[in-house]
Chains A and B, each alone.
Chain A
Amino acid sequence: MPFPSDGASIRPLNRFRAAEDGCYPETMSIHVLPTPLVNKIAAGEVVERPASIVKELVENALDAEAGRIEIAVEDGGRKAITVTDDGIGMSPDDLKLAFVAHATGKISDDEDLFAIETMGFRGEALASIAAVSHAHIRSRRRGAESGYEVSASGGEIAPPRPCAASAGTAVSIRDLFYNTPARRKFMRTTATEFAHISEQLARLALPHPRVAFRLTHNGRESANLPPADSTAERVADLFGRELADALLPIRPRGDGVSVAGLLAPPAAARSSSKWQYCFVNGRYIRDRLLSHALREAYRGRIDVQRWPVAFIFVEIDPADVDVNVHPTKIEVRFRNGNQVHGALLAALRETLNRANLSPTARLGDSPASSEGNDRGEPASETPPPSSHDAPSVEAVAHDDNHRNTLDDARRHSLRQALADFLKAAPPRQQRLDFSPHANQAGAPPAGTDATSPSTAAPGPSGRLPLGDLGAPAAGHGAGDAAAAIMQVHNSYIVAATDDGIIVVDQHALHERLLYNDLQRRLAESDGTKLTSQRLLIPETVTVAPAEADALNRRSELLDRLGIEVQAFGPRCLAVQRFCALLAERGVGAADFVREIAGTLAEDDTTNPEQMLQRVLAMMACKAAVKAGEPLSEDEMRDLLARRREADKAAACPHGRPTTLTLTLAELARQFGRS
């Protein structure tokens, strides 16, 4: 998406004015800029806002092997930022050069630049920061007798002098942008700037769980992260125990690129991508490849407008990644991007496939409602890390008086569902009554009567052919074969499980299962195609020229789907073969081809694989049993039995959940039995 560029729209106007006022200098001589000005310019890139300073200073502390880092901020960092570490410290000679541009102890020659293992290396940060603030460093090397301090103000560096100091380094930056009023104006409110600092802390603290961090704002502790044994512990300290406990560890894989980390289940997806933390060699980065891999891995599991929560750590040979792309190093360049993307995607998929991803239904605040269809949900999610006391999503009904009407409606509808569950039970009995109507000798031909009991053979009655798959329905999941199961409103299946009740959206689940079947079928080998039914009487369909063209160009895709169309006069196509699954489910070939044509013509840029997945999702949706279709008990049991065997069954291909779980524990809690 193109960024609206303010500069672009303003510039012509300025030029116009400048010309009118005759302000162009008559002559311009070229000269080298003085160093303080160069540093000020560099500061524009490196020091975007107070959070950038925190980043640079903490990175320095981490590079100095600190075990404990304290960050003290005043007035959102505008007044003062002090970072104190217990690292190796600096000698007086080091201090002399600390504020000099391109002075660094981290690299020394060209080769080092391509094998960077420290966080910093450019030697710009302190010089840039010192150019736009009052900076002060106090440091004592480990084992040294005394410490030294040095200060700089607006780029003017004072010589180091001895002082009392504890081991390690303390850098404090005061009055940021005091000498660049324009930049000072651009700083936001205290709260905003501090939120950025908090976010920065998360980005720095996550890859270094063993380092203790403490952040104070105006003297008040905002975060205290003790040394942790694992990233999960660190996540718990930063974002709360609930999220941390839900996370799925990525099994580390290593073949050149090693991927580790934690993924949140789809149900925990957020409405912003902020909750994706990607680190390459311990450095927080934003990278299109990595976020694409995440999107791909979760595709079909979450709603398209939501973003997965993930903490991903990629370890890669420093020689294979260029971090020297961006002054703040937020972007990197991989030598072999595809390999990284592939390794990550494989690791993510494997992790998600392993997990049981059914969302848990909660009477108070069900994930279905927050994860599901309400797109226009309030963007109430606060930027991540400021809170280790994150509010629990799980509100207890009876002690929460401020429950809004939405929640009430939700609870009411669930109550209603339960009431229906109980009410609807008797008719099941009645259906077993012997009715003389049903007692006709000689079964009528299949399909003549929509209510006729399904015949033994897979008849094309348009009914869901699940019960007659040959799989012994009763044998499936024998454990709960006797358990209660029922359909409510001809749309949802409610069943008892060992530890509660599940509510299944019949369309979403069947759609997901079909989608899996179709995908599996096509993935079997390269050339596999879907079973294709030839048409005795080809169906004709009229399409726009662009659509006909799109179909033509994608004939290979259609072929894989078992669809063959031939030109049949101007703007008219004849469907010769049609996917057997859809044909059997009574989906009109002409209608479907018209729909595909529209999709293909509209969305010509997407790659073939994505296109295939999209069309498969369309097919699954068309072929799946609809909401409102009554199902027999066998069909329901079969559907549920397959739920267990299918991966990704927790969400339909569009990412809506298929199953809600209401645990006995939740029921007990709601009824006050606990």
Chain B
Amino acid sequence: MKVIAQTAALQEALTLTGQLVAARTPKPVLQCVKLVAADGVLTVLATDLEAGVRYQLGAVQVEQDGEALIPAARLAGIVRESADEESLTIEADADACHVRGAGSHFKIFGYDPGEYPAVADFDGDGDCRIASDALAEMISKTLFATAKAHSHYAISGVLCEVSGKKLQLVATDGHRLAQAKGSLADAAGRDVTAIVPGKLMSLIQRVAADDGETLEMKVEENQVLVRTARAVLVSTLVQGNFPKYSEVIPKEATHKAKINTAQFEHRVRQAALLTNEESRGVRLAFGSDEVVLTSRTPEAGEAEVSCPATLDGEPLEIGFNPAFLTDALRVIDADEIAFEMSASNKPAVIKAGTGFLYVLMPVDLG
């Protein structure tokens, strides 16, 4: 194999694929990326056995087809330190891989490319197509709410529901739930329901955020595949039953407040300064024209900040984990949110813009 690749493009490819390369693993091949040169294209492959990526570099000149399996960190380091070079030549034979720049030559010992696990490719048509920036936004509005602990595996992913021309993402960690709705580019070939691992979602986000292209998505028996112009992302699906989320979304509310998003977020952050590890809670007292946020740490002190808000309904006091509020508030683009509650021990709902809904449970401040 011999290719001449643009350094910048190579670096981009290695940065993305590097996300799936394990730092520590008993299998050394999993610390590698696989390079495949064929048909005038260089493909960089990486997998952690759950998720995989195939990234195609167009800006290359393939001199000789072939494959190489190279330690990822080593190669990424060389490319990073060769940023001043326009291009690098990568040549691999049975013994080693040679990376050459204008005044540099690196010889890296790799592994047999045949030992690398297969990374599925996106064949045929997808189930649905969606604008990449729209999907990236929906992911950012839900991904934060997934469960981080291993205890409840089914909610460690994002529920992805395709129906007609609509796509819906739902994530929850058992304390709060985020839901984002969006439109597909055209009607989907079939309805799909799948739990996509958070890791793949954040990969999609990285690939999708930069340009206005259209992504294709396909769900097979136990895996999901996403195709962009340059990359194919694949992952096994999260198995298990996602909770019946529609049951926990309150249907009505007796107290509805409207608050400026940025101001509210700012005030919540301020109030959070005087919470502590053991009593993470901010008390929100909704009055007719403002909401007063108070917090207290017994040995440290207290905070009281207020924020204009219009309330429809009786005054209400309710406590929240401030992180649960700021997590949602910082991904909302709309200027104003609707904050809907019915009691201090019942779930509250934040609605903003089109298609974003966030349910959060209050805390009981002892």
Interface residue ranges, A against B (CB under 8 Å):
435-437, 442, 444-449, 456-462, 465-466, 469-471, 514, 517-518, 520-521, 524, 528-537, 539, 562, 577, 580-581, 583-584, 586-591, 623
Given A459-B323, A539-B174, A562-B366, output 19 extra A-B contacts at Cβ < 8 Å: A445-B331, A447-B146, A448-B198, A458-B323, A458-B326, A461-B148, A469-B276, A470-B272, A520-B299, A521-B366, A524-B298, A528-B366, A532-B364, A533-B363, A534-B175, A536-B172, A536-B177, A580-B281, A591-B151
Query: Which parts of B44-85 form the interface with A (CB within 8 Å)?
Result: 80, 83
Instruction: Across the interface, name the chain B residue whose C-beta is closest to A529.
Output: B366
Q: How far, in Å, is B296 (CB) from chain A's closest CB?
A: 10
Instruction: Identify which of B155, B324, B347 contacts A460 (C-beta below 8 A).
Output: B324
- Grouping DSSP codes into helix (H, G, I), strand (E, B) and loop, the A interface class, with mixed when no group exceeds half, is loop
Is B248's CB under 8 angstroms from A517's CB? no
B144 on interface, CB distance cutoff 8 Å: yes
Interface residue ranges, B against A (CB under 8 Å):
11, 15, 18, 80, 83, 140, 143-144, 146, 148-149, 151-152, 155, 172-177, 198, 201-202, 205-206, 209, 243, 248, 269, 272-281, 298-300, 319, 321-324, 326-327, 330-331, 345, 347, 359-366
Is A584's CB under 8 angstroms from B243's CB? no
Contacts of A437 in B (CB 8 A): 15, 18
Q: Given A457-B323, A459-B327, answer yes or no on A514-B366 (Cβ-Cβ < 8 Å).
A: no
Contacts of A459 in B (CB 8 A): 323, 326-327
Instruction: Identify which of B176, B205, B278, B323 contacts A521 (C-beta below 8 A).
Output: B278
For the complex of A and B, the 5 pairs showing the least CB-CB separation, nearest first, are A588-B151, A470-B273, A529-B366, A534-B361, A586-B149
Q: How far, in Å, is A668 (CB) from chain B's closest CB?
A: 38
Contacts of A529 in B (CB 8 A): 364, 366
Is A445's CB under 8 angstroms from B144's CB? yes
Q: Given A442-B209, A457-B272, A583-B175, answer yes or no on A533-B361 (Cβ-Cβ < 8 Å).
A: yes
Contacts of B173 in A (CB 8 A): 460
Is B326's CB under 8 angstroms from A457's CB? yes
Is B152's CB under 8 angstroms from A449's CB? no
Q: How far, in Å, is B160 (CB) from chain A's closest CB?
A: 16
Is B280's CB under 8 angstroms from A580's CB? yes
Contacts of B175 in A (CB 8 A): 533-536, 583
Q: How far, in Å, is A287 (CB) from chain B's closest CB?
A: 36
Q: How far, in Å, is B325 (CB) from chain A's closest CB?
A: 9
Is A531's CB under 8 angstroms from B278's CB? yes
Contacts of B201 in A (CB 8 A): 448
Contacts of B140 in A (CB 8 A): 445
Q: Given A458-B323, A528-B366, A531-B365, answer yes or no on A588-B152 (Cβ-Cβ < 8 Å).
A: yes
Contacts of A583 in B (CB 8 A): 175
Is B323's CB under 8 angstroms from A534's CB? no
Q: How far, in Å, is A628 (CB) from chain B's closest CB?
A: 12
Q: How far is the CA of A581 from the CA of B366 in the complex (A)?
A: 13
Q: List 23 A-B contacts (CB under 8 A).
A: A437-B15, A442-B209, A445-B140, A445-B331, A448-B202, A448-B205, A458-B280, A460-B321, A470-B275, A471-B300, A520-B299, A521-B279, A530-B279, A530-B366, A531-B278, A531-B319, A533-B321, A534-B361, A536-B359, A562-B364, A588-B152, A589-B174, A623-B277
Is A466's CB under 8 angstroms from B11's CB? no
Is A460's CB under 8 angstroms from B278's CB? no
Is B148's CB under 8 angstroms from A586's CB? yes
Instruction: Across the interface, name the chain B residue whose C-beta is closest to A623.
Output: B277
Instruction: Identify which of A521, A580, A581, A586 contacts B298 (C-beta below 8 A).
Output: A521
Contacts of A514 in B (CB 8 A): 277-278
Instruction: Identify which of A444, A446, A517, A535 contacts B277 (C-beta below 8 A).
Output: A517
Is B326's CB under 8 angstroms from A588's CB? no
Q: How far is the CA of A470 from the CA of B303 in the complex (A)?
A: 11
Contacts of A532 in B (CB 8 A): 363-364, 366
Residue of A445, A532, A589 ringed by the most chain B CB atoms within 10 A = A445
Is A530's CB under 8 angstroms from B278's CB? yes
Q: How far, in Å, is B82 (CB) from chain A's closest CB?
A: 12
Q: How far, in Å, is A513 (CB) from chain B's closest CB?
A: 8
Q: How far is the CA of A583 from the CA of B362 in the complex (A)?
A: 13
Residue of B243, B278, B319 ringed by the most chain A CB atoms within 10 A = B278
Q: How far, in Å, is A450 (CB) from chain B's closest CB?
A: 9
Contacts of B319 in A (CB 8 A): 531
Is B148's CB under 8 angstroms from A447's CB? yes
Q: How far, in Å, is B350 (CB) from chain A's closest CB?
A: 13
Contacts of A442 in B (CB 8 A): 209
Q: How far, in Å, is B214 (CB) from chain A's closest CB?
A: 21
Q: How far is the CA of A521 from the CA of B360 in the complex (A)?
A: 25
Is B80's CB under 8 angstroms from A436's CB? yes
Q: How far is the CA of A529 from the CA of B364 in the complex (A)?
A: 9
Instruction: Across the interface, name the chain A residue whose C-beta is closest to B142.
Output: A445
Is B366's CB under 8 angstroms from A531's CB? yes
Instruction: Across the interface, name the chain A residue whose C-beta is closest to B144.
Output: A445
Instruction: Across the interface, name the chain B residue whose C-beta is closest to A519.
Output: B278
Q: How far is the CA of A462 from the CA of B144 in the complex (A)?
A: 12
Contacts of A448 in B (CB 8 A): 143-144, 198, 201-202, 205
Is A588's CB under 8 angstroms from B149's CB? yes
Contacts of B83 in A (CB 8 A): 436
Is B323's CB under 8 angstroms from A536's CB? no
Q: How far is the CA of A537 from the CA of B244 in the complex (A)?
A: 9
Contacts of A449 in B (CB 8 A): 202
Residue of B177, B275, B300 ringed by the most chain A CB atoms within 10 A = B275
Contacts of B144 in A (CB 8 A): 445-448
Q: How far, in Å, is A46 (CB) from chain B's closest CB?
A: 56
Contacts of B206 in A (CB 8 A): 444
Q: How far is the CA of A640 from the CA of B207 in the complex (A)?
A: 41
Q: How far is the CA of A445 from the CA of B322 in the complex (A)?
A: 16
Q: How far, in Å, is A527 (CB) from chain B's closest CB?
A: 8
Contacts of A590 in B (CB 8 A): 151
Residue of A447, A471, A581 ringed by the most chain B CB atoms within 10 A = A447
Is B364's CB under 8 angstroms from A577's CB? yes
Q: How far is the CA of A449 from the CA of B273 in the complex (A)?
A: 24
Q: How far, in Å, is A619 (CB) from chain B's closest CB?
A: 9
Is A470's CB under 8 angstroms from B274's CB? yes
Contacts of A584 in B (CB 8 A): 277, 280, 321, 323
Q: How far, in Å, is B9 (CB) from chain A's closest CB?
A: 14
Instruction: Across the interface, name the chain B residue whose C-beta is closest to A538.
Output: B174
Instruction: Across the interface, name the chain B residue whose C-beta is closest to A510.
Output: B277
Contacts of A580 in B (CB 8 A): 279-281, 321, 363
Q: How far is the CA of A562 from the CA of B362 in the complex (A)?
A: 13
Q: How far is the CA of A529 from the CA of B243 in the complex (A)?
A: 30
Is B323's CB under 8 angstroms from A466's CB? no
Is A531's CB under 8 angstroms from B364's CB? yes
Q: Given A461-B148, A520-B298, A521-B279, answer yes or no on A535-B361 (Cβ-Cβ < 8 Å).
A: yes
Contacts of A470 in B (CB 8 A): 272-275
Instruction: Across the interface, name the chain B residue whose C-beta is closest to A624.
Output: B277
Is A465's CB under 8 angstroms from B277's CB? yes
Contacts of A458 in B (CB 8 A): 272, 275, 280, 322-323, 326
Q: How far is the CA of A137 from the CA of B347 in the complex (A)?
A: 88
Q: How far, in Å, is B316 (CB) from chain A's closest CB?
A: 15
Q: How far, in Å, is A8 (CB) from chain B's closest CB?
A: 52
Instruction: Across the interface, name the chain A residue whose C-beta is closest to B249.
Output: A536
Q: Given A457-B269, A471-B300, A529-B366, answer yes or no on A537-B202 (Cβ-Cβ < 8 Å).
A: no
Is A539's CB under 8 angstroms from B152's CB? yes
Instruction: Across the interface, name the chain A residue whose C-beta is closest to B324.
Output: A460
Q: How far, in Å, is A319 (CB) from chain B's closest CB?
A: 43
Contacts of A524 in B (CB 8 A): 298
Instruction: Across the interface, name the chain A residue whose C-beta is closest to B146.
Output: A447
Q: How far, in Å, is A67 (CB) from chain B's closest CB?
A: 53
Residue of B152, B274, B361, B363 ringed by the most chain A CB atoms within 10 A = B363
Q: Given A534-B345, A534-B364, A536-B248, answer yes or no on A581-B278 (Cβ-Cβ < 8 Å).
A: yes
Instruction: Across the interface, name the chain B residue whose C-beta is closest to A442.
Output: B209
Is A531's CB under 8 angstroms from B281's CB? yes
Is B363's CB under 8 angstroms from A531's CB? yes
Is B149's CB under 8 angstroms from A460's CB? no
Is A462's CB under 8 angstroms from B363's CB? no
Contacts of A581 in B (CB 8 A): 277-280
